[in-house]
Structure 1
């Protein structure tokens, strides 16, 4: 293992070792900070399925110095501009040279790539943050491990511990909790080579939306979102329930379902957060889902976490005053991320409507508007430029 020659003087604790937490740790290290990531899970390696990344996230990854790693574990997907009906007709069709391909990858592959960008001693597993006490000079983080309780002091704390963030609860005890959005999402990944090639597409049904992205290794990630009035509804066989709902939709949807091991299908109720008044308090900053968890309908959750990490690292570069830097981070990130969060909450009110008139109008207008209108709609999300990072260190790679 190689080590950096940089002498770190300022310290940060990042709560959460997911994509956002690792991106924040990478950015802060590049800005000259000593970083420790506390992850509550005993296994550092991610599970999950696939997702896609828009150009704004790719630019953020480049600014963090991990753009090549993101591209290396990704393949292009046309799902952002290929929209179909359950019968297979096209509402919109991807055209090379006109439309923008997104980058799709498996969550575990990207997580491993980011983890490899940090030294082993930087990330501590099975360490669950339980509380934070702040002073003018820093913050004391209490955490729990299988061996007992512990504490660590740092100049700042970054809460990247997800929608159920312990950091958010500790620092903003009066903030509302996750809000169920009456949506259920199933996710799956086909076995390698079983259904191939797939360029990526979305299929809009009444009260249901299916999407598919190619993944490296000739795999295909797929998802199905449906209206669901109550959370925690369980089915004896999730894959059988999915087939019951969309088994007669156009090819290759039935084949993708057949090529997915039933035990691997993931099922999640969709929650988001009401907007917070601020993402920072004294020496603590929230990031990603801990700050602005959103529905997946704009495919921007992880993208916004990458943006957060880039802006936070840029604001904390150099010898800037920490409270001032965090105030600037909040000013720069909260309006944009909450605008995306609001749009992501509004989207399924139309796109998952079960009303036949609403569905008919939505599909007709989409077909009439075409790709040019869709591109203009995406532009405010995708045309984001990251700040430059004043780097002070060379990333440390695991070998």
Structure 2
């Protein structure tokens, strides 16, 4: 089946969907309210399923060329005691800068296919005109979800705040350190840069809301083991992003009429399992496969919904659970047992 698709959102999910639909013979238009590919920085972990989806689109090798493979992945306590350690071949993860992945996804697209600086309105979503399918790839605050899906739910707070950024220098090992009420992660970014992220319970920030971000992080995480303190020492003069974390309650369906949700618009999740970008890529590829194989839009969207809703709902639940436990204020023993269990699962 061939047709015309409007993709709302020019991030990872939307661009992968556009490339997949083009390969399936569809006409595609992407509308993105930003003036260029959205890049909030940082390194993304791409696991086996997402790399396989990129391979089917002919993009896998180009992404691998830009990716880092950590020599080990470690979960530790603030004193440096190792709870989990696994080699990169076991983990089978590629770490790629978000900007590099977006550049690969944009490169080679037909001129004008992505309409940057073009917001979509409620009216555009309700009456998409000549388009056979409207793909909501517009993130956690999706206009397509709130406009087109009956009973659509709003994002819910996770009770945690995240900070992230990059510092000069290279690391070979990916570490995540779990302390009481907070964690700190350090991963390779590229041969010149280290990616870092921190997350902590919202209540730990009471009375500190106006503090300088670098000073706050150095106060909160000072005294932790070497991978953390090396990043803290390099923070002055670098940018620090801050955002409250949310996920999305389960939807009854990702589809309504000719509207379909992918990525964070369908199943925004806590970042703790590093699966958000992966699931977005797999969604987009699965949707393109379905629309290329089925004889009707209705059948294709139903096939996509059956294939993706169950697995992504499970990842959302698991990510929320790990977010709670990894930043728990009490119960160090059960939390550390969970860390070891995660290591075995990986």
| TM-score, reference length from structure 1 | 0.81
Q: CA separation in 2, counterparts of 1:206 and 1:231?
A: 14
Q: Could you tell me which of 74, 79, 83 is aligned with 1:82? A: 74
**Which whole-Å CA distance do the structure 1 matches of 2:14 and 2:236 have between them?**
30
CA contact (8 A) 2:77 2:179 kept: yes
Q: Is residue 182 of structure 1 aligned with residue 159 of structure 2?
A: yes
Match of 1:252 in 2: 227
Q: Please tell me whether residue 359 in structure 1 is matched to residue 332 in structure 2.
A: yes
Query: Residue 50 of structure 1 contacts residue 189 of structure 1 at CA under 8 Å; is this kept in 2?
Result: no
Give the CA deviation at 1:60: 1.7
Give the Cα separation in 1 of the matches to 2:34 and 2:46. Answer: 25
Q: 1:120 to 1:323 in 2, by over 3 A?
A: same
Q: Deviations over 1:69-108 (max 9, x none)?
A: 22122101256x41111111211223465x2242112111
Q: CA deviation at 1:323?
A: 0.7
Please state how far the C-alpha of 1:46 moved relative to its aligned partner: 2.2
Indicate the residue corresponding to 1:284 in structure 2. 259
Partner of 1:116: 107
Residues 1:213 and 2:190 aligned together: no
Tell me the equivalent position of 1:242: 217
Match of 2:345 in 1: 377
Q: 1:389 aligns to what?
A: none
Residue 336 of structure 1 and its aligned partner are, at CA, apart by 0.7
1:348 matched to 2:301: no
Cα offset, 1:353, TM superposition: 0.7
Contact residue 162 and residue 244 of structure 2 kept, 8 A:
yes
Corresponding residue for residue 164 of structure 1: 141
Residue 264 (str. 1) matches residue 256 (str. 2): no
2:284 pairs with 1:316: no
State the shift of 1:132 in Å. 4.9
Give the drift of 1:374. Answer: 3.7
| Root-mean-square deviation (Å) | 2.3
Alignment equivalent of 2:85, drawn from 66, 85, 93: 93
* Partner in structure 1 of residue 127 of structure 2: 140
Superposition deviation, residue 235 in structure 1:
3.2
* CA distance in 1 between partners of 2:249 and 2:127 (Å): 27
Per-residue deviation, 1:118: 1.6
Candidates 10, 19, 30, aligned match of 1:17:
10
Query: Matched residue of 2:223: which SS?
Result: coil
- Cα distance, 1:275–1:262 mapped onto 2, change above 3 Å: farther
Q: Take 2:203 and 2:110, find their aligned partners in 1: how far apart are those partners?
A: 45
Query: How far is the alpha carbon of 1:231 from its aligned partner?
Result: 10
**Distance of 1:109 and 1:127 partners within structure 2:** 23
**How many positions carry a matched residue from both structures?**
345
Greater helix proportion: 2
Structure whose alpha-carbon radius of gyration is higher: 1
Cα 1:238–1:173, aligned 2, differ >3 Å: closer, same or farther?
farther
- Residue of structure 2 aligned with 1:299, choices 254, 259, 274: 274
The residue matched to 1:291 in structure 2 has which SS?
A: helix
State the SS of the aligned residue for 1:212.
strand
Structure 2: runs of 5+ lacking an equivalent:
none
Q: Secondary structure at the match of 2:317?
A: helix
Distance across 1 between alignment mates of 2:212 and 2:159: 21
- Per the alignment, in what secondary structure is the counterpart of residue 76 of structure 1? coil
Task: Give yes or no for contact 2:69–2:88 (8 Å, CA) kept in 1.
Answer: no
- Gap runs ≥5 in structure 1: 1-7, 142-151, 379-399
Which residue does the alignment assign to 1:55?
48
- Structure 1 range deviating more: 123-132 or 251-260: 251-260
In structure 1, distance between residues paired with 2:101 and 2:236? 22
Q: Which residue of 1 aligns with 2:66?
A: 73
Task: Flag the 1:95–1:319 CA change in 2: closer, same or farther, 3 A.
Answer: closer
For residues 233-253 of structure 1, give each alpha carbon's deviation from its aligned partner in whole angstroms, at most 9, with x where no partner exists: 843311111111102111132
Answer whether contact 2:287 2:301 (CA < 8 A) is retained: yes
Q: What is the distance in 1 between the residues matched to 2:88 and 2:277?
A: 25
**SS of match in other structure, 1:119:** coil
Change in Cα spacing, 1:248 to 1:231, as seen in structure 2 (3 Å) is: closer
Shift of 1:175: 1.6
Determine the C-alpha separation between the residues in 1 that align with 2:306 and 2:294: 19
